[in-house]
Amino acid sequence: MAPVRVRGASNLPAEWDLIGRRVMVTGATNGIGKEAARQLAARGATVVLACRNLPAAERVAEEIRQQHPGASVEVGPTQLDLGSLESVRGFAEAYRKSGKGLDVLINNAGANYCKESYTPEGVGALCQINYLGPYALTRELEETLQRSAPARVVNVSSVTHRYGWIGDPAKFLSSWRPGSYYPSTKLANALFAFELQLRLGEAGIQSCAVDPGGVSTNIWQNSAFDQPPLSYVIRNMYAPPSDGAAAVVHAATVPWGKEHKAAADITRRWAGGGSGGLRRRRAAPTLPDLRFYARGLFASPAITSWRGAVEPGSLADQLRSYLWGGVAVVHSLLDWPLRNLSGGWLAGETRVVPAAPLAYDAALASHLWDLSADVCKLPRQPRLLKSAQ
- pLDDT value at position 369? 99
Q: Give, as one character, the DSSP assignment of residue 195.
A: H
Angstrom distance (rounded) from CA 172 to CA 150: 32
Residue 38, sorted as left (phi over 0), alpha (psi -120 to 50) or beta, turns out to be alpha
Q: Which amino acid does the sequence have at 190?
A: A
By DSSP bridging, strand 22-26 and strand 205-211 are unpaired
The set of residues, in sequence order, having a beta carbon less than 8 Å from that of 219 and lying 6+ positions away, is 31, 110, 111, 112
Burial state string for 94-129 with b = 16 or more CB within 10 A and e = fewer than 16: ebeeeeeebbbbbbbbbbbeeeeeebeeebbbbbbb
Summarize pLDDT for 312-329 with one digit per residue, the tens: 667 777 787 788 888 999
Q: Is 238 a catalytic residue?
A: no
Angstrom distance (rounded) from CA 50 to CA 79: 7
Nearest C-alpha neighbor of 331 from the set 232, 237, 209: 237
Segments of the chain with pLDDT less than 50: 1-15, 273-275, 279-280, 282-285
- pLDDT value at position 223? 59
- pLDDT value at position 311? 64
- pLDDT value at position 324? 83
- pLDDT value at position 278? 54
Place domain 14-383 in its CATH homologous superfamily.
NAD(P)-binding Rossmann-like Domain (3.40.50.720)
Say which of 181, 182, 238, 360 is annotated catalytic. Answer: 182
Angstrom distance (rounded) from CA 110 to CA 27: 7
**What is the signed CA dihedral for 294, 297, 302, 305, rounded to 10 degrees?**
0
- pLDDT value at position 262? 87
- Indicate if the alpha-carbon torsion angle 374, 379, 381, 382 is positive or negative: negative
Strands laid side by side in the 22-26 sheet: 72-75, 46-50, 22-26, 104-107, 151-156, 205-211, 291-295, 350-352
Q: Where are the domains of the chain?
A: 14-383
Cα 278 to Cα 5, 199, 283, distances in angstroms: 42, 11, 10
- pLDDT value at position 120? 96
- pLDDT value at position 279? 43
- pLDDT value at position 306? 80
Summarize pLDDT for 331-361 with one digit per residue, the tens: 999 999 999 999 999 999 999 999 999 999 9
Q: Which amino acid does the sequence have at 356?
A: A
